[in-house]
Amino acid sequence: MVDAMRQEHVILLNEQGQPCGILEKYAAHTAATPLHSAFSCWIFNDQGQLLVTRRSLHKKAWPGVWTNSVCGHPQSGETAEDAVIRRARFELGADITAPASVYADFRYCATDPNGIVENEVCPVYAAQLVSQLQPNADEVMDYQWSNLEGVLCGIDATPWAFSPWMVMQASHEEARATLRNYCQQIIA
């Protein structure tokens, strides 16, 4: 599975968010990670519970950290929505509904305790699980289905326990409201 990750690339972006090159995914994530395209998705089950995942200890950045359901990088010629579906299958062994936009212009830069930097233009999506989960152990070491409000309260109370991108996404009031609305539509 690590070989599959090394075959992926990231789409490099200039400061205006325009593509300006590609770089192998594993090589891109260093102490000086260039700005690149990514995505983040919050996945809910048919009861409106959020899938929170714990990143594998094999991950280069933020190993062992709890985060939202799935993240990744679109490949050349691939839409972010198609990339979300691809990564949900790869990381979670799961099929999902078409991803819905939650926070289209999310951008962040954060450094993990090992000095690895994430520097991403990272639109945020929500989707619903439509199959069983079969997590890829190289990507996910644990997972939990949780009430969205409980997760948001946990993020507010203990932000250090979650990935920085999850905390920043949940701190954006419009994104938080959109996630709540998405969840409510499932259970309505």
Q: Which residues are catalytic?
A: 71, 120
Question: For residue 54, what are the CA distances in angstroms to 78, 93, 137?
Answer: 26, 15, 10
Query: Could you give phi then psi for residue 141, rounded to 5 degrees?
Result: -95, -20
Residue 118 marked as a ligand binder: yes
Show the tokens assigned to 84.
Answer: 């979300």
Query: Of the candidates 110, 106, 139, which has an alpha carbon nearest to the alpha carbon of residue 1?
Result: 139
Residue 73 marked as a ligand binder: yes
Show the tokens assigned to 3.
Answer: 């070989």
Residue 120 marked as a ligand binder: yes
Residue 58 marked as a ligand binder: no
Residue 81 marked as a ligand binder: no
Binding residues for Mg(2+) are: 91
Binding residues are: 29, 36, 73, 91, 118, 120
Binding residues for Mn(2+) are: 29, 36, 73, 118, 120
